[in-house]
Amino acid sequence: MPKRFLKRYMPTPEKIREIKSLHFLGDLLHEPNLWHINRHAVARAFMIGIFMCFMPMPFQMVPAVFLAIWLNANLPLSVALVWISNPITMPPMLYFNYKVGAWVLGRPVLDFEFQLTWAWLSQRLVDIGIPLYFGSILVGAVAGSTAYLTIQYLWRRKVREDWHKRQQARHQRETSGH
Q: How confident is the model at residue 38 (pLDDT cuts 50, 70, 90)?
A: confident
Q: Are 34 and 75 in contact (CB under 8 A)?
A: yes
Q: Show the 3-state SS of the chain.
A: CCHHHHHHHCCCHHHHHCCHHHHHHHHHHHCHHHCCCCHHHHHHHHHHHHHHHCCCCCCCHHHHHHHHHHHCCCHHHHHHHHCCCCCCCHHHHHHHHHHHHHHHHCCCCCCCCCCCCHHHHHHHHHHHHHHHHHHHHHHHHHHHHHHHHHHHHHHHHHHHHHHHHHHHHHHHHHHHHC
The pTM for the full model equals 0.75
Residues 6+ apart with CB under 8 A from 1: 39, 42, 151, 154, 155, 158
pLDDT digits (tens, 9 = 90+) for 145-170: 999 999 999 989 988 998 988 888 88
Distance CA 135, CA 141 (A): 10
Going from N- to C-terminal start, the domains of the chain cover 3-177
Residue 143 clears pLDDT 90, i.e. is over it: yes
pLDDT digits (tens, 9 = 90+) for 76-124: 888 889 989 888 988 889 889 998 999 998 888 777 665 667 776 677 7
